[in-house]
Homo-oligomer: A and B are copies of this chain.
C-alpha cells in the first residue's frame, strides 16, 4: 500500500473519479489536505456532509437549494412572469453570474435525446407547461445549449407552448455553434440574453 492507510488510498481513488481529476491530481490534493488536516480538510469534510444532507431540488424550478423553495423562487423582487429554461443547474449558476436575468428559472435536468431514449416526460417539460399556464407566464426564454439536442429540445418546447398565451424566445447571438453555456464567459451569456429572439 503506497498511500499511508486504507482510508487515504480510498480517498485518493474517490477523488480521482471526480470530473477533471485523475490519480495524479487526486494524490496532490489529498497530500495538500493532509498537510492542512486540522483546518481546511476538516472544514471540507463538514461542508460536504452539510451540503450532502441539506441539498434538494426546488419544488418549483428544480434549482439546487437547502429549502423547499429556492432563494430565486422565494425572492419577491424577481419578475414572476418570465421563466428562463435551462438544461441543468450549472447553466442556471452561469446565468446568475451574468446578472442579466431577473425572472425565474426552470431546470429541465437534461435535453431530449433519441440516442439516450430521453423523452419529454423524463425532463421538467410537463411541469414547465403546467407552470406557464398556472402562473400566467408572459415569456419563456429557452437558454439551452447550441448543440443538436439542445436545439431539438428548444423547438419541442416552443411547439408544445404554441397554444399557450406566451412569448417563447431563445438566446441569440453570442452563443457559438456547438458551444456549451457553462464554458462561456459571463459577458457573452449576458449579451446573448439581451439579444434574445422570438422562436
User: A residues engaging B (CB < 8 A)?
Assistant: 1-5, 7-8, 10-11, 14-15, 17-21, 25, 27-34, 37-38, 40-52, 54-55, 63-66, 70-71, 88-90, 93, 96-97, 182
Task: Contact check, A90 vs B31: say whether CB atoms are below 8 A apart.
Answer: yes
Given contacts A18-B32, A32-B18, contact A5 B66 (CB under 8 A): yes
The binding surface of chain A is classed by DSSP as: helix
- Give Cα distance in the complex from A40 to B182, angstroms: 23
Task: Contact check, B47 vs A3: say whether CB atoms are below 8 A apart.
Answer: no
Most buried by B among A8, A21, A40: A8
Closest to A23 in B: B97
Task: Contact check, A63 vs B33: say whether CB atoms are below 8 A apart.
Answer: no
- Give Cα distance in the complex from A46 to B63, angstroms: 26
* A8 in complex: contacting residue of B14, B31, B46, B64, CB < 8 Å: B64
Closest to A56 in B: B37
Task: Contact check, B97 vs A2: say whether CB atoms are below 8 A apart.
Answer: yes
A-B contact list, 9 entries, CB within 8 Å: A4-B70, A7-B54, A8-B51, A8-B55, A11-B47, A18-B29, A30-B51, A31-B64, A42-B48
- Give Cα distance in the complex from A20 to B21, angstroms: 9
* A64 in complex: contacting residue of B29, B34, B54, B55, CB < 8 Å: B34
